[in-house]
Structure 1
């Protein structure tokens, strides 16, 4: 699926948030025979402006461009002189606004680099999640990533980072620290660490390419049931293989059913959502997409499910995009009971294009529909058992993440009740949906 052509060697595409294979068409205003004009445009900020216009013109899902005269937009963009890349970037963003599509957006080089790292599910660094200590606002290690240089160097959760390559972290945000820690694979970095039982000491590490965990799983004993609990953070390029490993590992532990937690999952790659749906569903449609020309593409299960055990899926208002593809497939095929709040309602597909100066463009190329054919864009998916958390409950779980998937988590508590209900229903009988009373 992820194949594309490259009309120019510096124009490449990656795909995310449900994107499918697309060709990023590109042409220049100057006739190809006029090499001096071609070179001048290619070397100027105006080149980036025209690259963006061409991609939107070729691929954007709405061929009316939200009733904008896109040809006039091009004339306006290319009639201007841009003395800096920033001026060109500002003009691009302003030109995209009338499309009224928040998902078609320009990404400066730093934003594009961050997005590609996120969707690839990899980064170059030492493998730590950073945060600020709530008590003293000092930079601390939330957790080291498994098998990373940080984990191998025995860096621990709760360690405070005093300095990065001799630069004090006093007043530094987690994002600023992360930018300093990231770097080229094979290069060294020294962290000054403060640990309560060890004092202050230096740790020298070598940066590596790290696969980020998108899937976290565990076995929970809930009364007489052994429950396989899986959190899926996002649909990155490694999410499907990580999910497969988790399901197989949990299957081997003789569990009675699953709870799949998609709360807060913003989405990711289309192929990852399809691959993961196929791990749960043997037969039936998963999703279908429709592009600007009315072209339809359907994706279905392929007899490759690796478990038939009862499944409950947790969702909330931040479960979006690829999360909704998976949720819709599981709900409409009656493979799972959906519990929680109405989902976000993002039923459009983007492709992401790298531009010649390292910046990027995300452009909406199609719309998707769950097996039912319902239009969920801006509407979301209503769970089988709708259970909204109060503001106080949401705040409590956010401040105390360790309460997630415990008896103090009302939505998880409902998921367990639903699993028990399924387990007690004789094979072939209908399974009534019975919300429980939670205070």
Structure 2
């Protein structure tokens, strides 16, 4: 995707709550694995064919070539020219003569990339690159959650709408302590994802820690149909509701246009970005453009401090009042859209502070179909605000607690409805 870095009807995500060759931007939510298969990306240009190797010498040669290819990509692309204050050249020959095969190269590349101390720059083994392509094609399998490792804890970042995970009641910030009885402490995100995924119709048992509660969830795996845009009727027929669950799908713009056709008679619109961890940069820009007659949408700044500005084109899909709902799970591409509409005074943001992911990744395909997520720039809102690690403040703050979620209340949505009723009545 232009990935700047992450789903039945609209899911209410509470406030407490993948990854290409051509010059492609991606808005990744974090160093995470979507157990349904992917987050924010665009397909690699043309995947390379794997090299056939037979002898030990051939395997070692291919491993060293792969490592050097990865080193060169970081040297030429990474946003921080100081490489986190280190001499990047020291890594080039660090493992020369020590790599016996591609598995060795994978470990070496991962170690090298980790030295950047950048959670969004990471090495992708071929399986992860394949998942990435699957996620963009919207053919995914699993339970429908995105997971991440923080402080050695395996956490749920987001659930996908109308998936087994959502129906089982999994929630963002749930800690997965065991998978099928196996403790997750010390388990990598990738290994955890492998344990959770499986064939349709099979079951996985997850031990969950939520605050002081210990829960056991047995979840039947299924195909995860990635749809990005959802609508539902509101109590007030004058108000339209549209939920954007992610920005990952290549079909998102068509989904958005089709959904908006059904809402043309509405006098106001709610766009729900809560729990939307991101997706394709291009999707965020083009959807923002739908609602703006003019003005800047976002700008990106690379390590040479060159700035590229993306601006709106004349013509909007609606001129009626808009409220955008955000929370701590609204990240990356979500923040591009929210920031563009807020700074241009096109929409009122209601909810809680967004996640704060203002970096842009480029996904590169390596010679054996593995790849690299590399942070290549940061992005700024139209007002020039760097929201990385800060997030976007809503115009109107409204809390949404776990108690609200369990009681099936949505005070943020209620606040949006009240706001728009006042706007319509003016």
TM-score, length-scaled by structure 1: 0.67
Task: Say if 1:389 and 1:101 are closer, same or farther in 2 by CA, change over 3 A.
Answer: same
Deviations 1:120-158 (A, max 9, x none): 142277xx9679xxxxxxxxxx9699xxxxxxxxxxx99
Matches within 5 A, 1:38-77: 40=58, 43-77=61-95
Equivalent-residue separation in structure 2 for 1:297 and 1:20 (angstroms): 20
- Among 302, 314, 320, the alignment partner of 1:303 is 314
Q: Are 2:229 and 1:215 equivalent residues in the alignment?
A: yes
Equivalent-residue separation in structure 2 for 1:65 and 1:144 (angstroms): 40
Equivalent-residue separation in structure 1 for 2:278 and 2:300 (angstroms): 16
- Among 233, 240, 261, the alignment partner of 2:253 is 240
Contact 1:16 1:269 in 2 (8 A): yes
Equivalent-residue separation in structure 2 for 1:298 and 1:255 (angstroms): 32
Q: Are 2:376 and 1:365 equivalent residues in the alignment?
A: yes
- Among 77, 81, 84, the alignment partner of 2:101 is 84
Q: Are 2:278 and 1:267 equivalent residues in the alignment?
A: yes
Equivalent-residue separation in structure 2 for 1:219 and 1:106 (angstroms): 43
Contact 1:285 1:371 in 2 (8 A): yes
Equivalent-residue separation in structure 2 for 1:313 and 1:143 (angstroms): 22
Q: Which has the higher contact order (CA 8 A, sep 6+)?
A: 2
Equivalent-residue separation in structure 2 for 1:130 and 1:71 (angstroms): 41
Partner of 1:226: 238
SS in 1 for 2:393: coil
Q: Are 2:314 and 1:331 equivalent residues in the alignment?
A: no
Task: Say if 1:20 and 1:211 are closer, same or farther in 2 by CA, change over 3 A.
Answer: closer
Equivalent-residue separation in structure 2 for 1:216 and 1:363 (angstroms): 31
Task: Say if 1:221 and 1:69 are closer, same or farther in 2 by CA, change over 3 A.
Answer: same
Equivalent-residue separation in structure 2 for 1:351 and 1:275 (angstroms): 19
Deviations 1:69-88 (A, max 9, x none): 001121214x2412232322
Equivalent-residue separation in structure 2 for 1:112 and 1:179 (angstroms): 18
SS in 2 for 1:44: helix
Equivalent-residue separation in structure 2 for 1:240 and 1:43 (angstroms): 44
Task: Say if 1:356 and 1:244 are closer, same or farther in 2 by CA, change over 3 A.
Answer: same
SS in 1 for 2:115: helix
Comparing 354-363 with 371-380, greater Cα deviation is found at: 354-363
Partner of 1:151: none
Root-mean-square deviation (CA, aligned residues, Å) is: 3.5
Q: Are 2:263 and 1:250 equivalent residues in the alignment?
A: yes
Equivalent-residue separation in structure 2 for 1:67 and 1:175 (angstroms): 35
- How far did residue 227 of structure 1 move? 1.7
- Among 273, 294, 301, the alignment partner of 1:283 is 294
Partner of 1:393: 404
Task: Say if 1:174 and 1:256 are closer, same or farther in 2 by CA, change over 3 A.
Answer: farther
Q: Are 2:354 and 1:343 equivalent residues in the alignment?
A: yes
Contact 1:232 1:262 in 2 (8 A): yes
Higher-Rg member (1/2): 1
Task: Say if 1:176 and 1:75 are closer, same or farther in 2 by CA, change over 3 A.
Answer: closer
Contact 1:280 1:308 in 2 (8 A): yes
Task: Say if 1:245 and 1:41 are closer, same or farther in 2 by CA, change over 3 A.
Answer: same
- How far did residue 389 of structure 1 move? 2.5
Contact 1:315 1:340 in 2 (8 A): yes
Equivalent-residue separation in structure 2 for 1:378 and 1:285 (angstroms): 22
SS in 2 for 1:329: helix
Partner of 1:411: 412
- How far did residue 171 of structure 1 move? 9.5
TM-score, length-scaled by structure 2: 0.69
